[in-house]
Structure 1
Amino acid sequence: MQNAVAVYGLGNMGFLIAERIAKAFPVKVADLDQGLIARAADQFSAVAIGGPETLSETSVIVLSLPSPSISQAVVKQIAPHLSAGTVVVETSTVNPEDMHALQRLLKPHGIEVIDASVLAGVGQMAAGTASLAIGGSAQAVEAAKPVLDAIADKQIYFGETGAGAAAKVINNAVAHAVMVVIAEAGSMATAAGVDTQKLIAMLSDAQMGIQRPLTHRYAERIVDGNYSGGMPLDAARKDSVLALQLAQNLGVPLFAIQGSHSVYEMAANAGYGREDYAAIAKLWADWGRPAVPGSKG
């Protein structure tokens, strides 16, 4: 019989993670809400974790808890009872420093931790289309692979412990920042009488709006350090001024678009005006924080 997988945390995401794991492994669960434990027992035959001493035969522990401090509290409680070689899998959205804190707690017991941050919402997890952003030693990831496969087929390995967590935080930061830009753009479009559905189609086009800065300017220009040709930064700065003027004339408040304009002003002042406007990335290299490894601006 397979060893059971322990899942701590049966919130909206944790419950679905436990349910998916239960299709491949026996599952033990823990949550402060006894109703959720009873529901898990009813829906996929989960067994309540009676105490940390019952985990000695469990080789993979999955955490889906509300905060890093709670994850650390749980790990402190259970670590002395786990067998060496056990792998703890943190699926919540946390920062690399939180993963390193778990690593420090577990290392004295011969236990490894990996980050397997969920790149999806509950709908995708329920549908089986979620992805995992993974970080950790190759050995630990391989040991936990059957459980990771049970959670999600699509997995992206980013590097050592904390790298997957960082990728998830960055992904969310981009999505949330773009959401502000889209809200601003939508307000400007509505005030200007632009058809909403046509605006969405235009911004979704692979050669325009949202995708082009990533798939062309970051993936091809910034990664390769190629800023020759293309749309000059001075021209992009001019267009940015037009957007600010349009918003002002329409009475639409701007935050993200207004803030991004300052970057174009700084890049122009730094002498990058004749280069492709992806050259804004050279500012971060100038500040000692390049956008890609080895970049010197």
Structure 2
Amino acid sequence: MSNKPVAVYGLGNMGYLVAQRIAKHFPTKVADLDTAQVQRARDSFAAQPIADPKDVSDVHAIVLCLPSPAASQNVLKQIAPHLSPDTIVLETSTVNPDDIHASQKILTPFGLRIVDASILAGVSQMEAGTATLLLGGDESDIATTQSVLNAITEKQIYFGPSGAGAAAKVINNAVAHAVMVVVAEAGALATASGVSCEKLISLLADPQMGLHRPLTHRYAERILGNNYAGGMPLDAARKDSTLALELAQSLGVPMFAIQGSHTIYEIASAAGYGRDDYAAIAKVWADWGKPTVPAQ
């Protein structure tokens, strides 16, 4: 299918690089509200501007890299009636599963399908070819568009049915953004305490220390394995969390994420999990009917 064009909607910082990478393997058509970006793509890698929805009637795949779910769905409403039934939409924008499903509803009357191919990367990673695509959707549709996906990046993780890749991206970003707050708080607390920030970074970066162990040991081994025996008791973790809040209060350093996360230790202790390993905070979500892992 490499002789058929691929259309890219959205030429922002990321979308432009996506189109540029695709253009190394496919004739590429592009659209963006910024006409200067369209011209830049035309001059740089011979992209063909999309002037009318009918211009995409011959494409192999539609790649969306747009700033909002509404923008993606607006484009699909315009072009769906003109697409060939074998055309597959690749949604690379950051959206929720419900947005993927809403887009599918637009496409279904025309016999069209969508794959979530969420981009996990910064601009520099996309440019270097080290980005990762988080995929969700029908595996046969992914196979049909594999050459296009590979043109974007060969690093890909398949998460499951439609919407799963999009959900994985949103969850990853939520963790990154929350950790960013925790790290900023830690830096402020370290500075106020006279602790070297450079040495603190080295400490936290150690695979056996604070940033890594909650994921690699407590979630991956204890929570997934439903093993809360031994280890650091939850009440001890609660005590340490209290000490951190006391330190921050004594130094006048505002806490947001660290203070907010202390609450779950209080709830878990009150629920009777104080002697379990502190990974047992996960039991609280299960008590609320929202377990953090699938049923064993």
The TM-score bracket by the shorter chain reads over 0.9
- Name 1:102's counterpart in structure 2: 103
Letter in 1 for 2:48: V
CA distance in 1, matches of 2:33, 2:264: 47
Shift of 1:127: 1.0
- Name 1:185's counterpart in structure 2: 186
Mapping 1:1-297, distance limit 5 Å: 2-294=3-295
Please report the RMSD computed on the Cα atoms of aligned residues, expressed in angstroms: 0.9
Report % sequence identity. 66
Letter in 2 for 1:16: L
Letter in 1 for 2:13: N
Q: Secondary structure at the match of 1:118?
A: strand
Shift of 1:54: 2.1
Q: Which runs of 4+ in 1 moved over 6 A?
A: none
Query: What does the per-residue CA deviation read over 1:118-147, in whole Å, with 9 as the maximum and x for residues that have no partner?
Result: 101111111111111111111111111100
TM (norm. structure 1) is: 0.98
> Which residues of structure 2 form unaligned runs of 5+?
none
Query: What does the per-residue CA deviation read over 1:30-69, in whole Å, with 9 as the maximum and x for residues that have no partner?
Result: 1111111111011111001131212222120000111111
CA distance in 1, matches of 2:60, 2:4: 7
Shift of 1:15: 0.3
Query: What does the per-residue CA deviation read over 1:86-136, in whole Å, with 9 as the maximum and x for residues that have no partner?
Result: 100011101111000001110111111011111011111111111111111
CA distance in 2, matches of 1:66, 1:256: 27
Letter in 2 for 1:253: P
Shift of 1:156: 0.7
Letter in 2 for 1:286: D
TM (norm. structure 2) is: 0.98
Shift of 1:194: 0.5
CA distance in 1, matches of 2:179, 2:34: 36
Q: How many residue pairs align between the two structures? A: 295
Shift of 1:263: 0.3
CA distance in 1, matches of 2:47, 2:54: 18
